[in-house]
């Protein structure tokens, strides 16, 4: 799984895996969360105070699932949620329900982000195509102003996964757990600067030609 793919390819492979192969989106989300969680442990981050900064798309759902895995390990974790949870994707609404069951605290105070020892960036994934503004930009600026280590899920929020360009403002991560294949934008100079160390996680999403070759 050494090749890098574009946004369109990533979206096509996801759709093929869910709609044609039949692996549910929630299963892929759980695998993405577990891969990120394992990289957090293996890379030896300071997990004394972890804050997951999440939005309401599926990238946010990945992060909320990571929060639950940390909570189960008795790690101090909270969620800083951006956006309207009533408009979250179906999978992210399910992750929010699970997080509430586990009584994971939610915060609306950016000082909690600033004072974290490790931050999980789960704001935007590969689908971002517009400049980041408003509360989303404020959260990214807060992340970048901290001394905390930052782990991005799939791509650093604010980075175009095709061009590697910064869309207004972007997270500067220490590491990025990207799903299935690396993204072409993370191989650019700017992409590399923002992504840090890139871990490519096999979550069960493959190119169609790969699937055909093993039938």
Give the CATH number of the domain where residue 180 resides. Answer: 3.40.50.10260
125 is in an annotated binding site: yes
57 is in an annotated binding site: no
pLDDT at residue 1 tops 80:
no
84 is in an annotated binding site: no
pLDDT for 43-87, tens place per residue? 989 999 999 999 999 999 999 999 999 999 999 999 999 999 999
- Report whether 177 contacts 152 (CB < 8 A): yes
62 is in an annotated binding site: yes
pLDDT at residue 138 tops 70:
yes
46 is in an annotated binding site: no
Within a domain: 72: yes
Predicted pLDDT of residue 207:
78
135 is in an annotated binding site: no
pLDDT for 145-195, tens place per residue? 999 999 999 999 999 999 999 999 999 999 999 999 999 999 999 999 999
How confident is the model over 120-137, as a mean pLDDT? 96
pLDDT at residue 215 tops 60:
no
Residue 215: count of CB within 10 angstroms of its CB: 4
Number of domains within the chain? 1
100 is in an annotated binding site: no
Query: What CA–CA distance (Å, rounded) separates 22 from 54?
Result: 27
Within a domain: 214: no
34 is in an annotated binding site: no
Within a domain: 213: no
Mean residue pLDDT across the chain: 95
Within a domain: 207: no
Query: What CA–CA distance (Å, rounded) separates 1 from 181?
Result: 6
Within a domain: 215: no
Global pTM reads 0.95
58 is in an annotated binding site: yes
Within a domain: 75: yes
60 is in an annotated binding site: yes
Residues contacting 186, CB < 8 A, separation 6+: 4, 155, 159, 161, 164, 176, 178, 192, 195, 198
129 is in an annotated binding site: yes
Within a domain: 211: no
59 is in an annotated binding site: yes
Predicted pLDDT of residue 171:
98
Provide the residue range defining the domain that includes 195: 4-201
């Amino acid at each position: 799984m050494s090749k890098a793919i574009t946004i369109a390819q990533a979206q096509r492979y996801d759709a093929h895996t869910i709609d044609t192969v039949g692996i549910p989106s929630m299963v892929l989300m759980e695998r993405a969360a577990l891969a990120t969680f394992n990289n957090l442990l293996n890379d030896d981050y300071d997990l004394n105070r972890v804050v997951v900064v999440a939005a309401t798309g599926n990238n946010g759902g990945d992060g909320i699932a990571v929060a639950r895995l940390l909570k189960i390990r008795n790690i101090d974790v909270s969620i800083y949620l951006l956006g309207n949870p009533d408009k979250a994707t179906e999978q992210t609404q399910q992750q929010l329900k699970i997080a509430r069951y586990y009584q994971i605290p939610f915060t609306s105070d950016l000082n909690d982000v600033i004072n974290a020892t490790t931050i999980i960036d789960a704001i935007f994934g590969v689908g971002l195509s517009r400049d980041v503004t408003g509360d989303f930009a404020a959260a990214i600026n807060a992340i970048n102003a901290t001394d905390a280590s930052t782990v991005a899920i799939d791509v650093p929020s604010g980075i175009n996964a095709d061009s590697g360009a910064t869309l207004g403002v972007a997270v500067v991560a220490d590491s990025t757990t990207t799903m299935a294949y690396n993204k072409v934008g993370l191989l650019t100079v700017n992409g590399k600067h923002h992504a840090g160390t890139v871990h490519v996680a096999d979550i069960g999403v493959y190119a169609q030609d790969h699937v055909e070759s093993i039938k």
